[in-house]
Amino acid sequence: MTSPRTYQTQAIIIKQTKLGEADKIVTLYTLEFGKLKAVAKGACRPGSKLGGNVEPPNYSLLMLARGRNLDIITQSQTMDGFSSLKGDLWCISCGFYILELIDVSTTEGSPNEPLFDLLLDTLKNLSPSNGDETVLRYFELQLLHHLGYRPQLHKCVVCSSSLKPGLNFFSPGQGGVLCPGCNHAEFASRTISIDALKVLRLWQDCNYSTASRVKMSSKLSSELRQLMQEY
């Protein structure tokens, strides 16, 4: 049975590049198909009906026609343009950082509905009134979970013993936390504070509403940033 010539999908615009003088290649993260690239013909022309709807980080409803190499966007409707996000430098910077993470960590043609929902919710949660980095760290941790790289935070990744309060180590290469007895130089680990471990454990299994209520010092925020960037 052949696939329909045209299809509709919800998509978050990740990025775009020019194709010739008038067209764009648009990278999308879609609900039904995961990441894909499509052509927006005439999107660079003034007054184009497609142009504004295929700008990152818009959330749009798209109609596409199957093409020989890349599918073609034929119709578009913006469902959320994230105007408050675009009006704030910190928010838009965070938004593009999140889109870049999605782009580099996913492959085309691998649908992941929970990841789509996470991306959409995170973009909605970015606001000028929420200027701390909780939204970023929560997204990074949940992204790892949805991609199958969830760090082990409840027991030592080497000996499987329960972690005791006190000195423990975080090893990106080993995929989680090491107890003092299993920590070795070749694991390239770093110490993890009790507070950081508690926060990461909470964020692994709670929704964003709960995560956002955690009050963090600048020291703890910096530690979490370094831990997630190294992972």
Are 17 and 116 within one domain? no
Q: In the predicted model, what is the mean pLDDT of residues 20-43?
A: 95
Q: In the predicted model, what is the mean pLDDT of residues 110-137?
A: 90
Q: In the predicted model, what is the mean pLDDT of residues 121-139?
A: 87
pLDDT of residue 181: 93
pLDDT digits (tens, 9 = 90+) for 209-229: 999 999 999 999 999 999 999
* 86 vs 190 pLDDT, higher one: 190
Are 69 and 93 within one domain? no
Parent domain of 102:
84-150+193-230
Q: What is the CATH number of the domain that holds 22?
A: 2.40.50.140
Using pLDDT thresholds of 50, 70 and 90, give the confidence band for residue 187. Answer: confident
Are 109 and 94 within one domain? yes
Q: In the predicted model, what is the mean pLDDT of residues 22-39?
A: 96
Instruction: Name, in order, each residue with C-beta under 8 angstroms of 37's C-beta and a sequence gap of 6 or more.
Output: 25, 26, 27, 28, 70, 108
Cβ count within 10 A of residue 171: 24
Are 32 and 114 within one domain? no
Mean residue pLDDT of the chain comes to 93
Q: What is the pTM of this model?
A: 0.92
Mean pLDDT lowest among 5-14, 54-63, 85-94, 221-230: 85-94
pLDDT of residue 131: 62
Are 121 and 138 within one domain? yes
Are 73 and 105 within one domain? no
Interatomic CA distance for residues 51 and 41, integer angstroms: 9
Are 91 and 132 within one domain? yes
pLDDT of residue 50: 87
Sign of the Cα torsion 113, 68, 5, 18 reads positive
Are 102 and 144 within one domain? yes
171, part of any domain: no
pLDDT of residue 76: 94
Taking CA atoms, 175 is separated from 53, 111, 152, in Å, by 39, 24, 6
CA 121 remoteness from chain centre? 10
In the chain, which ranges are E strands? 6-19, 23-30, 34-40, 59-65, 71-80, 168-171, 176-178, 190-192
pLDDT digits (tens, 9 = 90+) for 153-184: 999 999 999 999 889 999 999 999 999 999 98
Total structural domains in the chain?
Answer: 2
Interatomic CA distance for residues 156 and 180, integer angstroms: 9
Are 74 and 136 within one domain? no
SS3 content of the chain, % helix, strand, coil (to 5): 35, 25, 35
pLDDT of residue 137: 96
Using pLDDT thresholds of 50, 70 and 90, give the confidence band for residue 4. Answer: confident
Are 39 and 76 within one domain? yes
Are 211 and 222 within one domain? yes
pLDDT of residue 102: 98
Report residue 172: phi and psi, to 5°.
-55, -40
Using pLDDT thresholds of 50, 70 and 90, give the confidence band for residue 2. Answer: low
pLDDT of residue 227: 95
With 60 as the cut, is the pLDDT of residue 1 above it? no
172, part of any domain: no
